């Protein structure tokens, strides 16, 4: 490989000649050969939006000339478009402030901007990574800002649409099955009846509440640390810099959630309780998805020796040894995602507790885990919707058989013969292998006509005066 020599305050170092990064990025490549988890592309894009906004604001404040501003802006646009992919090699496991990733962006933007101005960046840099691209900034305020930009963009682009997709599917299923009465189950035991539509309506509400919680967390995530610089005082920044950057970001990103300057920059740098709130909402969504996916695979279990009240699409062979076996693989994938998200929440919670004095130095791992959670949840929800939920069908034969065989229909008799007598009918029928009606008549507690009047499953699915 062809190399060139780059310099920084630590001295000279070899850098691949075909890359736009410089000395500080290269030092991180060499100093942190840890894992395979590179800095998420969403963070890189968040940085690009931020550096572009900072350049515009520095230009408005007459701290950066027009030529440099235009070149920096164009380089940032290219990062967002993906044309500079391959220039961001740094791993998550680096300095906890994300300093090297901030400098990776600064160096790439500086080199590409220099090139856009007609100069060979390998020979002479017309744009300086610190003095121009990083003007009025510190890694300590840019990294937490970039990651929050990434969170907002990914939630709006990926997760919220995914939640709506699945919620809409279940809403249609609720309507489709609104009058289909089935037996309920609590403690994995038979319970009183409900409709299949009522059962699925819980999922609609779960998904809506999860989205509400995520939207609630946005009021913290839109508060940006930019302008705090090193320790929150704003040293080397302009008093209006933070507010102006937020205004430009709102214009350039066009999100539904408007960025604002964090009211206390000391809080913004040292604490990530907002990220814990967001991660907690993602964790709650994961818990609901775990419940939904488990219910679906239980209800579809079988096909002959399980519950089998619903059928789900058969997507692929389920066994390398048992011919014809088909498994609830979409439920399995979603529950694995849920477990991963729950683990990520633990990581985020512990990481956020590690703010010492003026800075939390677990920022990259917080960003990595939250973005992974958003991505996995979004992908798995869409996959589960398209390859499972849409194809849910009711198995009427099994539903009716379980409903009519259930001993818990006896609950409808409580108001007429009392709990003790109703329990006697149920226990006797279970012991003798007979029906509730037979034992109610045999025990002389009800006539045939009275039993049929009182025990009507469809009438047991809603309260009565």
CA 135 to chain centre: 33
Residues 22, 36 share a domain: yes
**Tens digit of pLDDT for each residue in 343-381?**
999 999 999 999 899 999 999 999 999 999 999 999 999
Contacts for 193-200: CB closer than 8 Å, 24+ residues apart: 193/403, 193/406, 193/409, 193/457, 193/458, 193/460, 193/461, 194/461, 195/461, 196/309, 196/310, 196/394, 196/399, 197/173, 198/174, 198/461, 199/295, 200/170, 200/173, 200/174
Give the pairing of strands 260-261 and 189-195: unpaired
Is 366 inside any structural domain?
yes
Distance of alpha carbon 142 from alpha carbon 148, whole angstroms: 10
Q: What's the average model confidence in pLDDT over 250-276?
A: 97
Same domain, 359 and 212: yes
pLDDT above 70: percentage of residues in the chain: 100
Q: Are residues 210 and 308 in the same domain?
A: yes
Looking at residue 114, its pLDDT comes to: 98
Q: Which residue, 112, 135, 158, sits at the end of a domain? A: 135
pLDDT tens across 118-138, in order?
Answer: 999 999 999 999 999 999 999
Asked, for residue 464, whether it belongs to a domain, the answer is no
The annotation status of 361 as a binding-site residue, yes or no, is no
Q: Is the peptide bond before 286 cis (omega within 30 degrees of 0)?
A: no
Residue 120 labelled as part of a binding site = no
Note whether 68 and 75 are within 8 A (CB). no
pLDDT value at position 58? 98
40 and 182 in a common domain: no
Mean pLDDT of 93-98: 98
Q: What are phi and psi of 261, to 5 degrees?
A: -70, 130
139 is annotated as contributing to ligand binding? yes
Answer yes or no: are the C-beta atoms of 197 and 176 closer than 8 Å.
yes
Quick one: pLDDT band at residue 465, thresholds 50, 70, 90?
A: confident
Categorize the per-residue pLDDT at 101 as very low, low, confident or very high, splitting at 50, 70 and 90.
very high
* DSSP three-state, residue 126: coil
- Judge whether residue 1 has pLDDT over 90: no
Domain that holds residue 82: 3-135
Helix (H/G/I), strand (E/B), else coil: 97: coil
Instruction: Give pTM, 2 decimals.
Output: 0.96
Is residue 448 domain-resident? yes
Q: Which residues pair with 11 in a beta bridge?
A: 8
Residue 215, in any domain of the structure: yes
Assess whether 294 and 151 both reside in one domain: yes
Q: Does a structural domain hold residue 247?
A: no
Instruction: Determine if residue 138 is labeled as part of a ligand binding site.
Output: yes
pLDDT band at 260 (very low <50, low <70, confident <90, very high): very high
Boundary residue ending a domain (348, 371, 397): 397
All residues at 6 or more sequence positions from 295 whose CB lies less than 8 Å from its CB, including other chains: 199, 203
Pair (196, 340) in one structural domain: yes
Confirm or deny that 236 is annotated as ligand binding. no
Catalytic residue (choose from 56, 70, 287, 319): 319
Q: Considering the domain boundaries, does residue 382 fall inside one?
A: yes
CATH code, 455: 1.10.40.30
Residue 394, SS3 per DSSP: strand
pLDDT of residue 414: 97
| 250 falls within a domain | no
Instruction: Say whether 128 counts as a known binding-site residue.
Output: yes
Q: Do 340 and 223 have their domain in common?
A: yes
User: What count of other Cβ atoms lies within 10 Å of the Cβ of residue 175?
Assistant: 12
On whether 326 is known to bind a ligand per the annotation, the reply is yes
Same domain, 165 and 267: yes
Domain identity same for 102 and 164? no
Summary count for the chain: helices (H), strands (E):
17, 10
pLDDT band at 464 (very low <50, low <70, confident <90, very high): confident
Residue 271 assigned to a binding site: no
Q: How many domains does the chain have?
A: 3
355 falls within a domain: yes
- Strand locations in 272-354, DSSP E? 310-311
Question: Chain-wide mean pLDDT for the chain?
Answer: 97
> Residue 450 and residue 458: Cα distance in Å, rounded?
16
Residue 98 marked as a ligand binder: yes
- Give CA–CA dist 149/249, Å, rounded: 9
User: Is 386 annotated in some ligand binding site?
Assistant: no
Helix axes 99-116, 139-154, angle to 10 degrees: 80
Task: Supply the CATH number for residue 85's domain.
Answer: 1.10.275.10
CATH of residue 271: 1.20.200.10
Which phi and psi angles does 14 have, rounded to 5°? Answer: -80, 135
Q: Catalytic site residue 187?
A: yes
Report the alpha-carbon distance of residue 371 to residue 379 in Å, rounded: 12
- Does the annotation place 262 within a ligand binding site? no
**Residue 294 among known ligand-binding residues:** no
Q: Does 430 qualify as catalytic in the annotation?
A: no
Listed in sequence order, the residues at least 6 apart from 104 whose beta carbon sits closer than 8 Å to its beta carbon are: 21, 24, 25, 28, 39, 87, 88, 89, 90
Q: Is 91 annotated as a binding residue?
A: no
Catalytic residue, candidates 111, 187, 201, 378: 187
Does one domain contain both 154 and 10?
no
> pLDDT tens across 44-85, in order?
999 999 999 999 999 999 999 999 999 999 999 999 999 999
Region 433-444 average pLDDT: 96
| Same domain membership, residue 319 and residue 199 | yes
311's CB contacts (< 8 A; 6+ apart) are 300, 303, 392, 393, 394, 395
The answer to whether the annotation marks 131 as part of a ligand binding site is yes
Task: Identify the CA nearest to 101 among candidates 144, 53, 135.
Answer: 144
At 102, list the tokens. 């901030």
Last residue of some domain: 135, 154, 188? Answer: 135
Per-residue model confidence as pLDDT tens digits over 310-355: 999 999 999 999 999 999 999 999 999 999 999 999 999 999 999 8
Task: Reply yes or no on whether the pLDDT at 35 is more than 90.
Answer: yes
Q: What's the rounded mean pLDDT across residues 185-201?
A: 97
Cα 290 to Cα 376: distance, rounded to the nearest angstrom: 13
Both 20 and 63 in one domain: the answer is yes
């Amino acid at each position: 490989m062809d190399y060139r020599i780059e310099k920084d305050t630590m001295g000279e170092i070899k850098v691949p000649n075909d890359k736009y990064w410089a000395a500080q990025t290269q030092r991180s490549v060499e100093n942190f050969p840890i894992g395979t988890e590179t800095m998420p592309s969403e963070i890189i894009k968040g940085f690009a939006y931020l550096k572009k906004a900072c350049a515009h604001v520095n230009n408005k404040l007459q701290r950066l000339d027009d030529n440099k501003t235009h070149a920096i802006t164009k380089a940032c646009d290219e990062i967002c478009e993906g044309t500079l992919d391959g220039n961001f090699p740094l791993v998550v496991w680096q300095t906890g402030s994300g300093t090297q990733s901030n400098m990776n962006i600064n160096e790439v933007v500086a080199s590409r901007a220099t090139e856009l101005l007609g100069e060979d960046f390998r020979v002479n840099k017309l744009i300086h990574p610190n003095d121009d691209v990083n003007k009025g900034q510190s890694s300590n305020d840019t990294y937490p800002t970039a990651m929050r930009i990434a969170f907002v963009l990914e939630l709006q682009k990926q997760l919220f649409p995914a939640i709506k997709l699945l919620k809409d599917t279940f809403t249609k299923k609720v309507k489709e099955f609104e009058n289909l009465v089935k037996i309920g189950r609590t403690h994995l035991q038979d319970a009183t009846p409900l409709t299949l539509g009522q059962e699925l309506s819980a999922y609609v509400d779960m998904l809506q509440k999860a989205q509400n919680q995520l939207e609630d967390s946005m009021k913290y995530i839109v508060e940006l640390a930019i302008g705090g610089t090193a320790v929150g005082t704003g040293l080397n920044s302009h008093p209006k810099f933070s507010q102006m950057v937020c205004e430009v970001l709102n214009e350039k990103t066009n999100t539904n959630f408007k960025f604002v300057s964090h009211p206390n920059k000391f809080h913004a740098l040292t604490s990530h309780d907002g990220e814990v709130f967001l991660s907690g909402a993602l964790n709650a969504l994961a818990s609901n998805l775990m419940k939904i996916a488990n219910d679906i695979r239980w209800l579809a279990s079988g096909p002959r020796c399980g519950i089998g009240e619903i059928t789900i699409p058969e997507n692929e062979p389920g066994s390398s040894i048992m011919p014809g076996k088909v498994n609830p693989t979409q439920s399995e994938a979603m529950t694995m995602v849920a477990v991963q998200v729950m683990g990520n929440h633990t990581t985020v919670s512990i990481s956020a507790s590690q703010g010492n004095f003026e800075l939390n130095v677990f920022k990259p791992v917080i960003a990595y885990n939250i973005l992974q959670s958003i991505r996995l949840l979004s992908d798995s929800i869409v996959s589960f919707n398209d390859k499972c939920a849409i194809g849910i069908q009711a198995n009427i034969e099994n539903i009716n058989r379980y409903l009519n065989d259930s001993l818990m229909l006896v609950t409808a008799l409580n108001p007429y013969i009392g709990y003790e007598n109703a329990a006697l009918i149920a226990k006797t029928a279970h012991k003798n292998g007979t029906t509730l009606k037979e034992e109610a008549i045999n025990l002389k507690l009800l006539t045939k006509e009275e039993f049929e009047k009182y025990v009507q499953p469809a009438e047991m699915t809603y309260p009565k005066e």
